[in-house]
Amino acid sequence: MVDLSERPATSTYRGMREWLQRADAIGELRHVKGATWQEEIGRIAEMLTHTDGAPAVLCDEIPDYPKGFRVLLNANGERSRVAITLGLDPTIGTEELMDWFENRMNALRPIPVREVTSAPILENVDEGDNVNVLKFPAPFWHPEDGGRYLGTGCVDITKDPDSDWVNCGTYRVMVHDERRVGLYISPGKHGRIHRDTYFARNEPMPVVLVVGGDPIHYLASGMEIAPEVSELEWVGGLRGEPVEVVRGHYTGLPIPAQAEIALEGFAHPNSTLMEGP
């Protein structure tokens, strides 16, 4: 049996935009124009989830929003696109992909992030009265949802207040109004452990919500990675190079430099909102 543990990812891309180019190049990306955020995007997502071999779909020209404010669906829904996310040949077979991933996991050593001061995520920054979460076309995903959701299709970054442990998770994020989103974290999740520690001290928890980030960060955030291991450092180990981050101006948290959107703020104790269906 071939030892794949030291085989590196073959071609690392930089961020969501390069990922989209690679998916498009192999015919794994479809472009949809004019789908509504109220109903149609959610229905397309549901259809893709239940269709074998379904492509990734990029929705653009969404009514009520400028061209270029897009929603990506089903990014990692097929083996070929998971291979792209991992930096592998998209024609890799299922068995070889599983062998590579298992061996890579066993040999992986986390690599600390690399902090930079200039990055695409800093090209457009809204602060103060200019903050408006509703500028983004968050869909109603299901007919009886209680509101519009940015997550779980996002990466939620938190930090333990007593150590350097930075966690990335995928949690529900409902948009409540222009300035507020609600973050639901199930008991036992690492982000919930962080939150409970802050709240027990009656302190707000810094949090960053990354939307439209690198698909490998989203993949890692949905995995069961050991406590006190940062998913960002885990991704660095998987790729063999550090993840570039900028330091959040308000929270001090690391924000992936190539992300498309990042919401930076705080979760406050004793401040809850109705959420869910």
d(CA 83, CA 92): 7
Domains in the chain, start-ordered, CATH in brackets? Answer: 15-106 (no CATH), 110-267 (2.30.110)
**Quick check: 6 pLDDT over 60?**
no
Tell me the pLDDT tens digit for each residue of 229-261: 999 999 999 999 999 999 999 999 999 999 999
Tell me the pLDDT tens digit for each residue of 77-94: 999 999 999 999 999 999
Tell me the pLDDT tens digit for each residue of 195-235: 999 999 999 999 999 999 999 999 999 999 999 999 999 99
d(CA 85, CA 101): 12
The answer to whether residues 211 and 217 touch, using CB atoms and an 8 Å cutoff, is no
Give residue 12's pLDDT: 79
**Quick check: 111 pLDDT over 90?**
yes
- Give one DSSP letter per residue of 184-200, joined into a string: E--TTSHHHHHHHHHHH
The chain-wide mean pLDDT, for the chain, equals 94
Residue 28: strand, helix, or coil:
coil
Span 119-135, mean pLDDT? 96
Other beta carbons within 10 Å of 141: 18
Give residue 65's pLDDT: 98
Residue 1: which pLDDT band, with cuts at 50, 70 and 90?
very low
List of residues 6+ apart from 158 with CB closer than 8 A: 166, 167, 169, 190, 191, 194, 195, 205, 206, 207, 253
By residue count, the chain amounts to: 277
Name the pTM for this structure. 0.93
Closest CA to 236 of 68, 114, 96: 114
Tell me the pLDDT tens digit for each residue of 143-180: 989 999 999 999 999 999 999 999 999 999 999 999 99
The secondary structure of residue 107, as a DSSP letter, is H
